[in-house]
Amino acid sequence: MGIQGKVVVITGASSGIGRATATLLAEHGAVVVLGARNNDALSTVANEITGSGGRAVFKSTDVRCRTDLEELVALAIEHAGRLDVIINCAGIGPISRFDALDVDGWDAMIDVNLRGTLYGIAAALPVFAQQESGHVINVISTAGIKMVPTMGVYAATKNAVRTATEILRQEAGPNLRVTEVSPGMIATNFGNGITDEVTKIAIGKQISAVAIPPDAIARGILYAIEQPPEVEVGSIVIRPTAQG
């Protein structure tokens, strides 16, 4: 048990859940390989980790670009000689009602939330197959569990990832672990990407009222990783007790 020395790729690592997860795993001895679009924020996270005695490298990564994910995985191999876990955490949520017709927002969520996760899986699987070990962790959302207005396309992308994750688990065989983590209302900058002003205000009020810190999700991810290799934690739902 434990994650000491494990090599972990994390997308969406510059803020929110990804950043909290990178920090926590590094504190427990993991080598973290960080990817996100904001290079300056990534550098800050990596410097904080290494400044505290942890091991971290980073690369500017746009999960909409398949080669970016391949290069991020290659960085893990170059830096640490292997890859033990990939955490597909990058996600966006420009949510709105369907009749707002934010088709560009729909496309963006499909590209980042769904396609970006699939590209992460595609980059890691050949390495895991060669090593005969590995762990895929996909960060999903409780928006795909409880259906509510404004979340239609966002929840659809997350449930598409949920479906892909479960089928990957069934196909994986004895050497690959697969975990889905569904966060509820978390105190992150999620609301910043909402373009519909009415929805943005409503979500902001909900976050202020009930949200829990991203560290709560990071601890769940840590739990899944630190289990013995023959133990797979298939699904974790982590939400505020006050969330309806």
Q: Is 188 helix (H, G, I), strand (E, B) or coil?
A: coil
Which fold does the domain 7-238 belong to in CATH? Rossmann fold (3.40.50)
Whole-number Cα distances in Å, 147 to 56, 155, 159, 221, 244: 38, 7, 11, 24, 12
Residue 33 has phi, psi (to 5 degrees) of: -120, 110
Query: pTM for the whole thing?
Result: 0.96
Strand partners, 135: 85, 177
Domain ranges within the chain, ordered by starting residue: 7-238
The residues pairing with 137 across neighbouring beta strands, listed in sequence order, are 87, 179
What's the rounded Cα separation, in Å, for the pair 7 and 31? 5
Catalytic residues, which ones? 154
Per-residue tens of pLDDT for the chain, all 244 residues: 589 999 999 999 999 999 999 999 999 999 999 999 999 999 999 999 999 999 999 999 999 999 999 999 999 999 999 999 999 999 999 999 999 999 999 999 999 999 999 999 999 999 999 999 999 999 999 999 999 999 999 999 999 999 999 999 999 999 999 999 999 999 998 878 887 888 888 888 888 899 999 999 999 999 999 999 999 999 999 999 989 7
Provide the edge-to-edge strand list for the sheet that holds 176-183. 55-60, 31-36, 7-11, 85-88, 134-139, 176-183, 235-238
* Rounded CA separation 222/26 (Å): 10
